[in-house]
Amino acid sequence: MRERLLASATQLFGEQGIAATTMAQIAEAAGVTSAMVHYYFTNREKLLDAVVEERIARSIAFVWESVEGEVAQDAHALVEEIVARLFEVTSRMPWLPPLWLREIVNEGGLLRERMLRRLPVEQLQRFVARIGEAQRSGSVNAELEAPLLFMSILALVMLPLATSKIWQNARGFPIIERDALHRHVSALLRAALRPVPPQRRVRRASGRKEDAS
Q: Write out pLDDT tens, residues 117-157.
A: 998 999 999 999 999 999 999 999 999 999 999 999 999 99
pLDDT on residue 196: 86
Domain architecture of the chain: domains with CATH: 1-42 (1.10.10.60), 55-196 (1.10.357.10)
Mean pLDDT of the chain: 91
Residue 201 pLDDT exceeds 60: no
More confident call, 173 vs 66 = 66
Q: How many Cα neighbours within 13 Å face the side chain of 163?
A: 11
Share of the chain above pLDDT 70, in %: 92
Sign of the Cα pseudo-torsion (25, 60, 154, 178, in order): negative
Alpha-helical segments (H) within the chain = 2-16, 23-30, 34-41, 44-51, 57-64, 75-92, 96-99, 112-116, 121-137, 146-162, 164-168, 178-193, 198-212
Q: Is 193 left (phi over 0), alpha (psi -120 to 50) or beta?
A: alpha
pLDDT on residue 58: 93
Q: Residue 129 has what DSSP assignment?
A: H
What's the farthest any 2 CA atoms get from each other in the chain? 73
